[in-house]
Amino acid sequence: MPRSVRRRWPLTRSFAVISSVAMIVLGCALVWLTWSVMSQQSVRDGIATAETVTTYATATVPTDSFVLPATLDQAQRDAVERATSGFGERLVELRLWALDGSLIYSSAERTETGFPDGDRLDLVTTPGGEPSARVITDVRGADADAGGGTELRVLDVYVPVHADDVVDPDPEREGTDVIGAAEVMLDHTAAGVALAEAVRTLALVVALGLLALWLVLFRTVWTASRRLQATALENARLALLDSLTGLPNRRMLAERMRRTILEAEETGSRVGLMLLDIDRFKDINDSLGHDRGDELLEQVAERLRGALRDDDIVARLGGDEFAILLPDVRSVANAERLARRVRGLFVPPFMLGELPLHVDTSVGVACLPDHADDPSSLMRTADVAMYAAKHHRTGVSVYSADEDDSSPARLVLLGDLHRALTPAPGAAHELRMHYQPKIELGTGTTVGLEALMRWVHPTRGVLPPTTFIPLAEQSGLIHDVTRYALTECVTQLAAWRAEGRATPVAVNLSAHDVTTVAVVDLIESLLEEHDVPADLLEVEITETALVADPSRVVPVLQRLGALGIRVAIDDFGIGNTSISQLRDLPVDELKIDRLFVADLGVDGREGSEVVVQAMVDLAHSFDLRVVAEGVEDEPTAVILRRLGVDQAQGFLYSQAVPADDLRLTPSVPRPRRDRVRGGVAVAAPPPATTRRARPPRSSGTDDTNG
C-alpha cells in the first residue's frame, strides 16, 4: 500500500500550538516559582515571630524549669501569659519543652501533658540547631477529641531555648547551650489567604501579560507568514511567466501541455504545437541594441496573444523562440494553416521607435498523436520541424521523420558507431573499405580506384555511407572515421605495392577534415610509416566544401599538393564554384556529378550534353582531368567518350567490392607531368588517376553506384 503523505502544518498553526504550550508552561512555572518564594518568605516571617515569642516567654521562666523538668506554677504561668499577650490572637498556642520531651508549659486550656514531635525536638535541640517550621491543620474546640471542633491552619514552629534566654541562668552553663525548646503555633490562616490572593493576582497578571505577548507575537508571525505566502505566490507566478513579455514560460507550457495531452487522450482529440523563431534576431540585437530587441519581443508577444483563439496558449521559451499550444486541432493540415496564419502576423512591420522593421519567422508544426506520443517528444518534433523550416527557408514546416537527425534510433546508431570505431580486442572490424575501379574511357583499362566505406552492422546488415557519415559529421566522429579510412587505404596500398601493384586509390575527405592541417599531418605520417609513395594516394572533396571556407581549405590543399598527393573536386556542377576560383584552386581533377551523367541517357534532359561538354572544355582548359560518376550503361559511356571525358566509374564497370575481390593486373603509374598555373609549377596528374574512399563527406555517397 502506498504510504500516506503527511502534510506539514502552516507556519501560523505551528507557531500557535508551540507558542501556546510554551506560554502555558512558562506561566505555570512563573506562578509556581512566585508562590514558592512567597510561601518560603511567609514561613521565614513566622519563624521570626516565633523566635520573638520565645524570647518574651522564656525571659520569665527559670532555668531550673528546663533542667529539672517541672510544670510552671501559676505565678510563672501568669508571667508568661503577660509576656506573650501582646501577640494577641495570632498566637494560637505556646508550649515549652524540656530536652527530655517533658511539657513545661502550654498556653492552651487543655491537659498539661502531651508529647512533642520528637524528630523536630531533637533537630532543634542539637548544638547549632535551627528553628523548624511546618504548616499544619490544628483542630480545636470542645468536640475536638470526638472528631468535631474547628480546623485552623497554623504555623507550628519549634525554636531552640538557650541558657541565656531564661531568667536566672545557671552560671555554670554557657549562654549558648540549648536547654529546651519552645513550640510556637501561629495562626497561618491570614497569611495563607494573603498568599493565595497574591498568587491568584500574580497568575492573572502573568496570564494576561503572556496572552498579550502571545497575541503580539502571533500577529507578527501571522503578518510575516502572510507576507511570505504572498511573496511565494508571486515568485511562483513569476516562475511560470516570462518576465519580459508576461507570457507563460517553458515551465508553465510544459505543465499545460501535460494536462492538455491527458485530456486529449481521454477525448481522442488532437493536440498541436507550433514553435516560432525570429530569423536573424541576433543581427537585430547587434545592430539596434538589446533594448530594441526586447521591445521587438514584447510587440511579437502582443501580436501573438491577440490573434489566437482563447484556448490557445502562447508561451515564450527563451530568446527569440515562442511556442503556441493548440489544445484541440482537427488535423495536421489545419495546424499547418494556423501556422501560416501566425506567420502572416509578421507581414506588417514592427515600429521600434520611428524605425519600421520587417521581420521573418520560421515556424515548426507537430501534432500528437501524429508525430509524438508525449509532451517531451511533441516539443522535440516541433523543434525539429522549426529548424527544418529555417534550414530550407520555407517559413513553415510540418515535422517529417526524414528531417529528424536526432531521433532515438539515430542516437542508438551513434552509440553503435562509437563501438564500431573502437572494437574490442580480437573482434572483427565492422567498418570495411570497398573499392570501385575508375576506367580510362580511351583504353578501357583500370587506372585507379575509389575507396568507399561500408558498415557491416551486426543487426542491421550492410549500411551505406549515406546512413552514418552525416551522423558522424554532426557528432564529431567524422575525424575518427577519416583516420580509419586513410589508415585502411594506405595499409592496403602498401600490401598491393608489395605484390607489385601500383594502382592509385582515392579517398573522400569531409568538409570538416579539410579545414585544418591535422589531416595533412595524418596522411604524411601514414605514407611514411607504410613506405607508400604519395602519388598512389588521391583525396576528393566536394565542391560545396571547397567553396564554403576557401581561406582555410586552400592552404590544406596546397600542403597536400606539396606532398605529391593529387586533389579532385567531387560532385562538380552542383556547387557554385566560379571560373576564377577554379583557375586558382590547387586541384588536379574534376568529377562530374552523377545527376548530369544520368541526364545523358535515353530519357535524359534536352541540352544535357551541352552542359557536360562545357564542363569538360572548362576543365581541360585548366589542364584538369575529367571523371564521370554513375555510369550505368554503354550508351552513356559512348556519349561521355565522344564528349572528351577522360575517365568513368559506375555499375557498368563494377560495383564497389572488397579488396580481395578486385581483379587488378600489376601496373606502374606513368610519370607525372608538371603544369604551370598562375606562375607556379603544379604537378599534373598522370593518366592513371585515383579517387578516394568515401568515408566522411557532407554530401554522402551514392548507394546506387557506390
Among 24-38, 138-152, 207-221, 496-510, which is the least confidently predicted range? 138-152
Do 47 and 159 have their domain in common?
yes
Residues of 226-253 as b/e, b for ≥16 C-beta within 10 angstroms?
eeeeeeeeeeeeeebbbeebebbbbebb
- Tabulate helix, strand, coil % of the chain (nearest 5): 45, 20, 30
Q: What is the pLDDT of residue 435?
A: 94
CA distances (Å), origin 377, targets 367, 400, 455: 10, 13, 29
Residue 308: is its pLDDT beyond 80?
no
pLDDT digits (tens, 9 = 90+) for 465-512: 887 887 788 778 888 999 999 999 999 999 999 988 889 999 999 888
Written as nine digits, the cell of 647 is 575517365
CB contact set of 483 (below 8 Å; sequence gap of 6+): 522
Where is the domain boundary, 177, 195, 213? 195
Residue 600 in domain: no
Residue 303: pLDDT band with limits 50, 70, 90: confident
Residue 530 lies in a domain: yes
- Shared domain check, 490 and 373: no
Contacts with 587 (C-beta within 8 Å, 6 or more apart), sequence order: 546, 557, 567, 568, 569, 624
Q: What are phi and psi of 9, to 5 degrees?
A: -70, 150
In tens, the pLDDT along 562-613 reads: 999 999 988 776 665 666 667 777 889 988 888 888 888 766 666 788 888 9
| CATH number of domain containing 368 | 3.30.70.270
In this structure, the answer to whether residues 359 and 427 fall within a common structural domain is no
Tell me: pLDDT of 82 over 60. Answer: yes
Model pLDDT, residue 595: 83
Same-domain status, 447 and 366: no
Q: DSSP 3-state assignment of 397?
A: strand
As to burial, measured by CB atoms within 10 angstroms (0-12 exposed, 13-18 middle, 19+ buried), residue 593 is: buried
Q: Is the pLDDT of residue 529 over 70?
A: yes
Q: Can you give the pLDDT at residue 173?
A: 52
Residue 148: the pLDDT is 57
Q: What is the CATH number of the domain that holds 568?
A: 3.20.20.450
- Determine the pLDDT at residue 703: 43
The pLDDT value recorded for residue 20 is: 85
Average pLDDT over residues 617-639: 90
Phi/psi at 564 (5° precision): 95, 15
Nearest Cα to Cα of residue 515 among 485, 555, 480, 483:
555
Q: Is the pLDDT of residue 698 over 60?
A: no
| pLDDT band for position 648 (cuts 50, 70, 90) | very high
Structural domain contains residue 611: no
Q: In this predicted structure, what is the pLDDT of residue 194?
A: 85
Judge whether 619 lies within some domain.
no
- Using an 8 Å Cβ cutoff, are 308 and 302 in contact? no
- Least-confidence region, from 62-66, 192-196, 343-347: 62-66
Mean pLDDT confidence for 323-342: 89
Residue 404 vs residue 5, higher pLDDT: 404
Residue 613 neighbours by CB distance under 10 Å: 15
Q: Is the pLDDT of residue 53 over 50?
A: yes
Asked if residue 587 is part of any domain, the answer here is no
**Is 598 a domain residue?**
no
**Model pLDDT, residue 667:** 45
pLDDT of residue 236: 67
113 pLDDT tier (thresholds 50, 70, 90):
low
Distance of alpha carbon 610 from alpha carbon 608, whole angstroms: 5
User: What mean pLDDT is predicted for residues 350-357?
Assistant: 86
pLDDT over threshold 80, residue 653: yes
Of 157, 164, 129, the C-alpha closest to 58 is 164
419, 392: one domain: no
On whether both 112 and 172 belong to a single domain, the answer is yes
Mean per-residue pLDDT over the chain, rounded: 81
Phi-psi region of 506 (alpha: psi -120 to 50; beta: other; left: phi over 0): beta
pLDDT of 666: 47
The reply to whether 477 and 552 lie within a common domain is yes
Q: Where are the alpha helices (DSSP H) in 268-365?
A: 281-288, 290-307, 332-344
Rounded average pLDDT over 372-378: 87
Phi and psi for 50 in degrees, rounded to 5?
-60, -40
Give the CA angle between residues 457, 462, 464 to the nearest 5°. Answer: 110
423 plus 399 within the same structural domain: no
Cell numbers found for residue 300: 511579437
Identify the band that residue 365 occupies on the pLDDT scale cut at 50, 70 and 90.
very high
pLDDT category of residue 664 using cuts at 50, 70 and 90 = low
Same domain, yes or no: 398 and 518 = no
Query: Model pTM?
Result: 0.49
List CB contacts of 173: < 8 A, sequence separation 6 or more.
63, 163, 179
Whether the predicted pLDDT of 407 surpasses 80: no
- What is the residue range of 148's domain? 14-195
Q: pLDDT at position 580, please?
A: 62
Residue 559 placed within a domain: yes
Same domain, 419 and 375: no
Among residues 611, 489, 615, 506, the alpha carbon closest in space to that of 565 is found at 506
Percent above pLDDT 90 for the chain:
15
Does residue 316 share a domain with residue 371?
A: yes
Mean pLDDT of 512-521: 87
CA–CA gap between residue 202 and residue 34 (Å, rounded)? 8
- The whole-number average pLDDT for the span 181-189 is 88
Number of domains in the chain: 3
Least confident of 300-309, 312-321, 534-543: 300-309
Give the domain CATH number at 101: 3.30.450.20
Residue 288 lies in a domain: yes
150 shares its domain with 38: yes
In this predicted model, what pLDDT tens digit does every residue of 199-228 receive, in sequence order?
888 889 888 988 888 888 888 888 888 888
